[in-house]
Amino acid sequence: MNDLIYRPGLEGIIAGETSISTITGGLIYRGYSIEDLAEHATFEEVAYLILYGELPQPSELEQFQQRLSAAATIHPEIIEILRHIPAQVSAMDVMRTGASLLAHWDADEGDNGREANLRKAERLLAQLPVLMAARFRIEQSLEPVPSESGRSLADNLLWMLHGEEPTEQHVRAMDVSLILYAEHEFNASTFTARVVCSTLSDLHASITAAIGALKGPLHGGANERVMEVLEEVGSADRAEAWVRNALQQKVRIMGFGHRVYKTGDPRARYLKSLCAQLAETTGHQDMEQMANVIETVVVEEKQIPPNLDWPSARLYHYMGLPIPLYTPLFVLSRVVGWSAHVIEQLDDNRLIRPRANYTGPEARAWLAPGER
């Protein structure tokens, strides 16, 4: 196999084609820069764009929102199952189980066609926030808060989590974070989803597998590790000494570096200003200053810029969201991208089956038990 190209982690290997997004020259969804979308669009508009290929006309957006609102409920038996899942089970494990459970009550479960998969994608987009919020409240010994029609996805999510009216600033922050996490080309979880559906498995199976991939700390779980770093540092006046010692000890600081973005993650740059605004209004200026000190030292000493996990962890903290929800929030957004990739893969499917570079022993003769 010496004539085949091998790169650990498939780094730099083109594994397929997509019209959904590109990270060449920044991050672009269906031709639109992430900066423009985060500045001007709502998450619903971006979700429609990713799923259907174009920004929606006003009537299309209204109908899309109505479908999402109608779908934002889960079967009572699923709620009962959530009550019986042991308390120590992680939120991401619950999301993985929940995505699989939702398939059993989906009217299109047995249909793997394009139109059915679009309907299933919309339902998952509407239902996964309901599932996450219900489990969160059950863990707090509280009753789940039903979805309310007329609210945006970001607004409704915060409403279902807390059962009280969220501030406009929090809704805007959540909406932007959902936009920024919605899609990211052939990342580990998206590639997982495409591999699964390339066998002609169904959309729910593909999303369930993608959630499993996202759980890992080198992918979606990184934003939770970021918050652990900030809590360990504790205050801005300790930040410089802490980070310099960490770098000297060759400790990996989560939230920095990216396999593809070598000059900086455009999503992190955009979210940084929103973090600063939210820190100011919620009284977290010290944490924001601490993060800025750490970022400055890491960039100066290692020339490694932050990725999206670095500001998003702070953003969620400033909104009063607990750390175990950080990666599940990623799921609620990325389900749009995963679904679009499953649909795209199935439109012109070829089973994804790469080769391996064999490093085992050469051919050996069989030896009977007494001769070994």
Q: Which of 127, 155, 162 is nearest to 43 (CA)?
A: 155
Q: Which of 204, 258, 284, 317 is catalytic?
A: 258
* Residues 263 and 211 both lie in one domain: no
pLDDT digits (tens, 9 = 90+) for 281-321: 999 999 999 999 999 999 999 988 998 889 999 999 999 99
Co-location of 126 and 272 in the same domain: no
Which residue range is the domain that position 104 belongs to? 19-215+323-347
In the chain, the percentage of residues whose pLDDT exceeds 70 is 98
CB of 149 within 8 A of CB of 40?
no
Q: Assign residue 228 the CATH number of its domain.
A: 1.10.230.10
Is 145 a domain residue? yes
158/26 same-domain check: yes
Q: What is the CATH number of the domain that holds 193?
A: 1.10.580.10
What is the Cβ-side half-sphere exposure of residue 32, based on CA atoms within 13 angstroms? Answer: 21
Query: Token pair 């808060």 is at which residue?
Result: 145
* Mean pLDDT along residues 163-177: 96
- What pLDDT does 11 receive? 81
Catalytic hit among 170, 184, 309, 317: 309
Question: What rounded mean pLDDT belongs to the chain?
Answer: 94
Clarify whether residues 65 and 191 are in a common domain.
yes
Does some domain include residue 312? Answer: yes
Contacts of residue 54, defined as CB under 8 A and 6 or more positions apart, other chains included, come to: 30
Query: Structurally, how many domains does the chain consist of?
Result: 2
For residues 69 and 205, membership in a common domain is answered with: yes
Burial of 67 (0-12, 13-18, 19+ CB in 10 A): middle
Tokens for 46, please give them.
Answer: 């971006």
In this prediction the pTM is 0.93
Whether 284 and 188 share a structural domain: no
User: Does any domain span residue 358?
Assistant: no
* 309 included as an active-site residue: yes
Is 258 a known active-site residue? yes
DSSP per-residue letters across 210-269: HHHHHTSTTTTTHHHHHHHHHHHH-SHHHHHHHHHHHHHTT---TTB--SS-SS--HHHH
Do 172 and 314 belong to one domain? no
Residue 207 lies in a domain: yes
At 12 the pLDDT is 81
Q: Is the pLDDT of residue 256 over 60?
A: yes
State percent of the chain over pLDDT 90. 81
Q: What is the mean pLDDT of residues 110-122?
A: 97
Are 275 and 208 within one domain? Answer: no
Q: Token pair 């109505």 is at which residue? A: 66
In this predicted structure, the answer to whether residue 178 has a pLDDT above a threshold of 70 is yes
Res 145: pLDDT: 97
Query: CA nearest 340: which of 181, 220, 207, 180?
Result: 207
Q: Both ends of the chain: CA-CA distance in Å?
A: 30
User: What pLDDT does 220 receive?
Assistant: 83
Query: 125 and 24 share a domain?
Result: yes
State both tokens at 363.
């051919």
Residues 196 and 313 placed together within one structural domain of the fold: no
CA distances from 24 to 29, 189, 302, 337 (A): 11, 19, 23, 17
Question: Tens digits of per-residue pLDDT, 332-363?
Answer: 999 999 999 999 999 999 999 998 989 999 99
In a domain, 208, yes or no: yes
* Same domain? 236 vs 188: no
pLDDT of residue 10: 86
Q: How far is CA 225 from CA 24, 248, 332, in A?
A: 27, 20, 19
Q: Which among 360, 367, 336 is positioned nearest to 118, based on CA atoms?
A: 336
Q: How many CB atoms lie within 10 A of CB 2?
A: 5
Asked if residues 99 and 124 have their Cβ atoms less than 8 Å apart, the reply is yes
Domain end residue (candidates: 274, 297, 318): 318
Report CA-CA distances (Å) from 138 to 43, 88, 245, 282: 27, 13, 41, 27
- 208 versus 264: the higher-pLDDT residue is 208
**Residue type at 97 in one-letter notation:** T
Q: Is residue 253 part of a domain?
A: yes
Query: Diameter of the chain by CA atoms?
Result: 79
Judge contact between 297 and 244, C-beta under 8 A: yes
Clarify whether residues 201 and 265 are in a common domain.
no
Q: Is 169 exposed, middle or buried (0-12, 13-18, 19+ CB in 10 A)?
A: middle
Is residue 361 in a domain?
no
For residue 2, pLDDT over 80 is answered with: no
Of residues 262 and 56, more confidence is placed in 56
Taking only the tens place, the pLDDT of each residue in 5-18 is: 888 888 888 889 99
Which distant-in-sequence residues (6+ apart) come within 8 Å of 231 by Cβ? none
pLDDT value, residue 265: 85
Residue 333: inside a domain: yes
